[in-house]
Structure 1
Amino acid sequence: MRRIAVRLLMAVLVGLAACLAGPAPAAQAAVPDSPAVTYTNPVAEKRADPHIFKHTDGYYYFTATVPEYDRIVLRRATTIQGLSTAQEVTIWTKHTSGVMGAHIWAPEIHFIDGKWYVYFAAGATNDIWAIRMYVLEGTGSNPLTATWTEKGQIKTTWESFSLDATTFVVNGVRYLAWAQRNPAEDNNTSLFLAKMANPWTITGTPAELSQPTLSWETIGFKVNEGPAVIQHGGKVFMTYSASATDANYCLGMLTASASADLTNPASWSKSSQPVFKSSDATSQYGPGHNSFTVSEDGRSDILVYHDRSYKDISGDPLNDPNRRTRVQKLYWKADGTPDFGIPVADGVTPQRFSSYNFADRFIRHWEYRARVEANVSPLADSQFRVVPGLAGSGTVSLESANFPGYYLRHKNFEVRLEKNDGTAQFASDATFSRRAGLADSAGVSYESYNFPGRYIRHYNYLLYVQALSTATDRADATYYAQ
Structure 2
Amino acid sequence: MSAGPLPSRRLFLGMAAAVPLSTTGALTLGSRPASAATAAPSVMAYFTQSPRNLGTDYGLHLAVSTDTLQWMPLNQNNPVVTPTAGDGGLRDPFILPKQDGTYVVMATNLKGTDWTKKTPYIHVWDSPDLRSFDNYRLLKLHDMATHTWAPEAFWDASRGQYAIIYSAVNSSGHNVIMVNYTTDFQTVTAPQVFFDPGYDIIDGTLAKDVNGVNYLYYKGHNSLTGAKSTSLNPGSFTQFTSGLAPQGGIEGPILAEAAGTWYLWGDANALFYAYQTNDLSTGTWTATDRRLYTQPLNSKHADIKPIPQTVYDNMVAKWGKPAWNRLKSYNFPDRYWRQVDSLGRIDPYPFDPYTDSQWKLVPGLADPSGISFQSVTDPTRYLRHSYFQLRLDADDGTARFAQDATFHKTAGLADPSWSSFRSHNYPDRYIRHFNYALRIDPISTTTGRADATFSVWY
TM-score (norm. length: structure 2) = 0.42
Bigger relative CO (Cα 8 Å, ≥ 6 apart): 2
Q: Which structure has the greater CA radius of gyration?
A: 1
TM-score (norm. length: structure 1) = 0.41
